[in-house]
Amino acid sequence: MLRPRITPCLLVHEGGLVKTVRFRDPTYVGDPINAVRIFNEKESDELVVLDIDATANGVAPDFAMIANLAAECRMPLCYGGGVTTVEQAKKIISLGVEKVALSAAAVADPALISAISDAVGRQSTVVVIDVRKRTLGGKFDVYTHNGTRKAGGTAIEFAAAMEAAGAGEIVLNSIDRDGTMKGYDVALARQLRAAVNIPISILGGAGSLDDIEELVREIGVIGAVAGSLFVFKGRYRAVLINYPQPGAKEELVQRAMKR
């Protein structure tokens, strides 16, 4: 039975763990392996790791880093960054990673999603859609390469196309809310939920557990993904890897699902 998931998202930049604000100004917050160990101890539902250098620099995934992360991780792991071929996706899965995420490559070649889905399974094929709201009209455009390149079409249309191509999950990432800790875009999440039938996750804006509870209460079974919330603590954003205790997490989900 599917249930809401609360998922930390780790950004890797130049080998270190960083956090951005609106995809800019990466701040170093620690070592990725150490963060994985802490999330193991805290019994995180799953973990998303995105290498934000790979696609931007046009390089292949760092398989040695991925192998080290997978060997340490005791929860389902999703990796994204630099994946452009079926062979790369298969290798990542062979290293012990449960899901492979694509973004720019999915925009450039939607058929690649079908091929990867056939090769590693639909449940292991994730598309991350980075979106920014238009100044006029209220629609959301798709961006790639760390928010520097605008793609064609709208976010919701693209999500539906990715489901049709074979994606098993959509992660919708708000550039506007990234690192702001001002809450998820629940209205956008509702649009996505109405447009696709596969599992969805929302990333960008979570600043408290109340934000996660609101997202689950309004959308239902969804992945609540967060970066800043799980690497910072307090109004001064002191670096502290954290995650709700199992009992508190279950209470949050139960309250939200009683909507």
Rounded distance between C-alpha atoms, residue 110 and residue 107, angstroms = 6
- The confidence score (pLDDT) of residue 10 equals 98
d(CA 82, CA 101): 9
Question: What CA–CA distance (Å, rounded) separates 161 from 196?
Answer: 9
**% of the chain surpassing 70 pLDDT:** 99
Q: What is residue 135's predicted lDDT score, i.e. its pLDDT?
A: 83
> Which tens digits make up the pLDDT trace of 147-202?
999 998 899 999 999 999 999 999 999 999 999 999 999 999 999 999 999 999 99
> Could you give phi then psi for residue 166, rounded to 5 degrees?
125, 5
Amino acid identity at 156:
I
pLDDT of 235 reads: 77
CATH of the domain at 65: 3.20.20.70
Average pLDDT over residues 54-75: 97
On the question of pLDDT at 1 being above 70, the answer is no
Q: Give CA–CA dist 114/109, Å, rounded.
A: 10
Helices 63-72, 32-41: axis angle to 10 degrees equals: 20
Domain that holds residue 246: 5-257
What average pLDDT score do residues 203-227 get? 97
Q: What is the pLDDT of residues 220-243, one digit of tens each?
A: 999 999 999 999 988 778 999 999
Phi, psi of 83 (to 5 degrees): -80, 120
Which amino acid appears at position 249 of this protein? K
Query: Annotated catalytic residue: which of 51, 53, 130, 211?
Result: 130
**pLDDT value of residue 258:** 84
| Cα-based torsion angle of the residue sequence 129, 79, 101, 172 in order, rounded to the nearest 10 degrees | -20
How far apart CA 220 and CA 259 sit, in angstroms, is 9
Q: What are phi and psi for residue 75, nearest 5 degrees?
A: -130, 165
- Is-contact 80 65, C-beta < 8 A? no
Is 31 an active-site residue?
A: no
What residue type is 220 in one-letter code? Answer: G
67-97: burial string, b at 16+ Cβ within 10 Å, e else: bebbebbebebbbbbbbbeeebbebbbebeb
- Is 191 exposed, middle or buried, given 0-12, 13-18 or 19+ CB atoms closer than 10 A? middle
pTM: 0.96
| 224 vs 171: CA distance, rounded Å | 10
Measured between alpha carbons, how far is 157 from 142 in angstroms, rounded to an integer?
Answer: 10
The per-residue pLDDT for range 74-116, each reduced to its tens digit, is 999 999 999 999 999 999 999 999 999 999 999 999 999 999 9
Residue 100's SS3 state is strand
| Mean pLDDT for all residues in the chain | 96
Split into its structural domains, the chain has a count of 1
pLDDT over 70 at 18, yes or no: yes
